[in-house]
Structure 1
Amino acid sequence: MSYFSFLGTNARWLGAGFLLTAFSCFGQTFFISMSLGDLRQELGLSHGDMGLIYMAATLASAAMLPWVGRSVDAYPLHKVALVVMLCLTALCVAMANVHSVPVLIAVIFGLRLSGQGMMSHISFTAMGRWYSAQRGRAVSIASLGFPAAEALMPIAFVTFTGIYGWRAGWWAATAIMLLFALPVIVALLFRPRVPTAAETASTENRQRDWTRKEVLRDPVFWAIAAGVLAPPCFGTAVMFNQVYLVELRGWSREMFASTFAVMAFMAVVASLILGPLIDRISARRLLPFMLVPLGLASLVLGLVHAPIAAFVFMGLLGISNGFTSTFAGALWPEIYGVRHIGAIRALAFALMVFASAAGPGLIGLLIDAQVPFDLQLVGISLYCAAISLVLTGASRVLASRQQPIPEIA
């Protein structure tokens, strides 16, 4: 089945997944961080202070996610999405009115939990549950919401706030959530997709459904986590400190904002290529190559200071993001089944949020300690190389288990 025919047949559900990931941007680091420079000055905070605040709030949201995330196994997805989006809308209002550090911590906690955490979690859980033989394609299309938001939101936010101020930008986000995202997504999710008889037969009795307790005791899970967590950890760290990077390199904020379009384009290309590839050869066989784009991106940014490095870095980071979002969305149901996928994915998502919190906090402390940023970037590249070897071993272990792979429809 071609992409176009697959899209036409499943437009309702794929559209819901796409919009959920797209509007999770209001809780994503790349969007929140565009206001943190102004907040840091208004509240008199250092880079390290802001990094620790962001890390603490994000870690708290990650601790809540395994418990809140189980709601998708117990309640209809459209009801969970409605509650989450109402919370996210209210938090956009709160962000527009932050005037103290305690309120900032609470708002970042809520934005991270409802936006980055639950919006993405609902999307990928739905794709993993509703699709089997075409899961890779479904996840790849839903994950296109990330690059779409990354391409449009930064330049729109910078332009809008340059005229009206950053607080007005969050009021605009509130209006978008309330008037468009919430009603459209709930309407699309209201009727869940039911797998066809052929899809059910193709995977029936071919996959053992692991519980979350079993997954926690599986060493392979933690080996894979060491790789899956690297992009949100280090990619988020660089995005969080984008103002510092721009000032350090002597680049303009407008120039750097324009590189998000390159990142988004490459993420789209990577997702569209990877989705059918996963359906064809499985996600586990692609494990060893997952961190190659991030490792190269970090190396380029650490060694090259010319403006072209920003575009090369963001292009490679886009490939990494497209790879990771599509890959992680398809991998967990492939190796652990779908019966408890909500709880398992919530655990994996919580770890990713932990990683995305640890990165900015660590980099902020290293910046305050005057550790050269170039050295930090080269260190990230070396980590990617080392963990790629670990992932090669994990892939072989999964192959030795002779884990069944769903047939192509």
Structure 2
Amino acid sequence: MTYLAFVRKERRLLSFAVSFTFFSSFGQTFLISLFVPYFLTAFDLSNATFGSLYSAATLTSAVALPWLGQWIDRIPLRQYSMYVAIGLLIASLVMAVSWHISMLFIGLILLRLSGQGLSGHTAQTTMARYNDQLRGKALSISGIGYPLGEAILPSIIAGVLVLFHWRTTWALIAMVIAIFFIPVLWFLIRSEKTAVDDEIIEEDKPSASDQYKLLARDARTWYVVPAILMPPFWVTGLFLYQVSAADQLGWSAALIASAFVAFAATRIATGLFSGPVIDRFSAKTIFPFLLIPMIIGLLVGFFFSGGWAAFVYLGLIGATMGFSSTIKSALWAEMYGTKVIGTVQSAFASLMVFSTALSPFLVGWLLDQSVTMNSILMIAVISSVLAGIVSLKIMPVFSRK
């Protein structure tokens, strides 16, 4: 089935998933970072103090994610998706009324949990349950919401912040979620019947704790974890310190900012391209090649300082991120089945959130120790190469399972 025919056939369910990945932006670092200068002024915080607060909020959401994420395997999707959307609404309202640092902390936890964590989790789990022949296409299309959010929302939010107070801006975000996001979700999913709706009453389904134990005992889990964590780990750390990176690598801050167009473009392109490839060859076959574009991009940043190199550097990193958003969920379905895909995905999503909380500490510490950005890029290259080698163990030609 072609992409166009597939979109026509499943336009409601695909729109549901893209809506979730797009609105997950409100819990992502790239959007929250626009408010950081206002947080520092309003609550009299230093950069280091806010960084610790933000990391603590991210880690807290990572702890809650496995327990909340597994419920998508146990209650109807309509009900679960409404809970997640309402959670994002509450998070925005808390940010709008956060007159004390404790309220800011609670708001950040809820944003990271409902936005970064559960919104993407809901979309990807829903698409991962799609039939085996078209799962890759479904995941590819659902992932478009991520780069669309990255391309559209920062300029809109920056413009709104010029006109309104930051708390008013969060109130406006809450209004958009209440008036548009939640009603649209309900319209798109109200008549859909998904696999989980037929499976939640099964008595032989393992509990979440049993499923997590099975994952930990499965050697394949540990073969894929390093390669799964490398992209979000290094992207978060390097992007958070992108100004320092640009200066040391011979690029201006304006150049690196404009080069993010290449990041968004390749993320969309590779995300769409990877779907048919997965459907044809399987996620297990192509997963070990996931990190190759990012590794090449990091090497370009290491060896070259011309303006073109910034676009290639970010473009190739975006390529890996585009592949990753599609391959991961398809891989879980192939390795562990679709009946408990939500539980499995929430476990790996929690590990990912943990990694994105730790990477700013590592990169920041290395910079404080006068380690050059070139050296940090080489560390990222070496760790990614090793992770890719380990992941070869899951390829069908090498795997015994």
TM-score by length of 1: 0.86
Contact 2:234–2:359, Cα closer than 8 Å, also in 1: yes
Which residue of structure 1 aligns with residue 199 of structure 2? none
Pairwise CA distance, 1:231: 1.0
Counterpart of 1:251 in structure 2 is 252
Alignment-mate amino acid for residue 120 of structure 1: G
| Shift of residue 387, structure 1, vs aligned partner | 1.3
Q: Distance in 2 between matches of 1:304 and 1:98?
A: 45
Tell whether the 8 Å contact from 1:48 to 1:367 is kept in structure 2 after alignment.
no
Q: Is the 8 A contact 2:392 2:398 kept in 1?
A: no
Matches within 5 A, 1:190-209: 190-193=190-193
Query: Where does the alignment leave 5 or more consecutive residues of structure 2 unmatched?
Result: 196-209
Aligned partner of 1:296: which letter?
I
The farther-off stretch of 161-170 and 76-85 is 161-170
Aligned-pair CA distance for 1:160 = 3.3
Paired position in structure 2 for 1:134: 134
What are the Cα deviations for residues 185-215 of structure 1, in whole angstroms up to 9, with x where unaligned? Answer: 12212222457xxxxxxxxxxxxxx944322
Partner of 1:297: 297
Compared with structure 1, are the counterparts of its residues 62 and 288 closer, same or farther at alpha carbon in structure 2 (3 Å cutoff)?
Answer: same
Equivalence for 1:205? none
Q: Output aligned runs, 1:103-122, within 5 Å.
A: 103-122=103-122
- Does structure 1 residue 147 correspond to structure 2 residue 147? yes
Q: Which moved more, 1:297-306 or 1:100-109?
A: 297-306
Tell me, what secondary structure is at the counterpart of 2:61?
Answer: helix
Aligned-partner residue type, residue 29 of structure 2:
T
Please name the residue that 2:278 is paired with: 278
What percent identity do the matched residue pairs reach? 33
Q: 1:9 to 1:177 in 2, by over 3 A?
A: same
Deviation at 1:299, TM superposition (A): 3.0
Counterpart position of 2:53: 53
SS at structure 1 position matched to 2:151 = helix
Whole-angstrom distance in 1 between the partners of 2:194 and 2:104: 42
Structure-2 change in CA distance of 1:360 and 1:158 (3 Å): same
**Does the 8 Å CA contact 2:300/2:313 hold for their aligned counterparts?**
yes
Query: Given residue 144 of structure 1, which amino acid in structure 2 is its aligned partner?
Result: I
Separation of aligned partners in 1, 2:187 and 2:7: 18
For residues 88 and 220 of structure 1, what CA distance do their matches in structure 2 show?
Answer: 34
Note the alpha carbon deviations across 1:44-73, whole angstroms, 9 max, x for none. Answer: 544443333222211111111110111111
Q: Return the offset for 1:367.
A: 3.3
Cα distance in 1 for partners of 2:167, 2:309 equals: 31
Moved more, 141-150 or 364-373: 364-373
Counterpart position of 2:177? 177
My pick for the range that moved more, 212-221 or 94-103, is: 94-103
Assess if the C-alpha contact under 8 Å between 1:212 and 1:340 holds in 2. no
* Equivalent position amino acid for 2:252 in 1: W
Deviation at 1:315, TM superposition (A): 1.4
Contact 1:23 1:115 in 2 (8 A): yes
8 Å CA contact 1:37–1:243 kept in 2: the answer is no
Q: Is contact 2:259-2:310 (8 Å) kept?
A: yes
Separation in 1 of the partners of 2:45 and 2:106?
17
Specify whether residues 297 and 32 from structure 1 end up closer, same or farther in structure 2 by C-alpha distance, changes over 3 A only: farther
What is the root-mean-square deviation of aligned Cα atoms in Å?
Answer: 2.5
The letter of the residue matching 1:62 is A
Deviations 1:207-248 (A, max 9, x none): xxx944322211211120110111111112223334555676
**Cα distance, 1:377–1:333 mapped onto 2, change above 3 Å:** same
1: CA distance, partners of 2:305 / 2:42: 30
| One-letter amino acid matched to 1:152 | I
- Give 2:28's aligned residue: 28
Cα drift, residue 2 of structure 1: 0.7
SS of 1:182 mapped into structure 2: helix
Alignment correspondent of 1:65 = 65
Deviation per residue, 1:157-210 (Å, 9 max, x gap): 233334445444433322221221111012212222457xxxxxxxxxxxxxx9
Report the equivalent of 2:220: 220
Q: Distance in 2 between matches of 1:399 and 1:4?
A: 35
Shift of 1:75: 1.3
Q: Deviations for 1:287-308, whole angstroms, at most 9, x for unmatched residues?
A: 2211112222333334445544
CA drift of 1:113 comes to 0.6
Higher relative CO (Cα under 8 Å, sequence separation at least 6) belongs to 1
Tell me, yes or no, if the aligned pair for 1:155 and 1:258 is still in contact at 8 Å. no
**Number of residue pairs the alignment of both structures matches:** 386
Moved more, 225-234 or 49-58: 49-58
Change (3 A) 1:400 1:250: closer
Q: Which residue of 1 aligns with 2:198?
A: none
What SS does the aligned partner of 1:229 have? helix
Please tell me the residue identity of whatever aligns with 1:73: D
| AA at the equivalent of 1:239 | F
> Cα distance, 1:259 vs. partner?
3.5
CA distance in 2, matches of 1:44, 1:237: 24
Q: Is contact 2:237–2:359 with CA below 8 Å preserved after alignment?
A: yes
Q: 1:204 maps to what in 2?
A: none
Aligned equivalents of 1:346 and 1:93: distance in 2? 25
CA distance in 2, matches of 1:256, 1:96: 31
Question: What is the CA–CA distance in structure 2 between the aligned matches of 1:171 and 1:323, rounded to whole Å?
Answer: 34
- The question of whether the paired residues in 2 share the 8 Å contact of 1:150 and 1:260 is answered with no
Q: How does 1:385-400 map to 2 (within 5 A)?
A: 385-395=385-395, 399-400=399-400
1:316-335 to structure 2, matched below 5 A, reads 316-335=316-335
Between 304-313 and 387-396, the greater mean CA deviation after superposition:
304-313
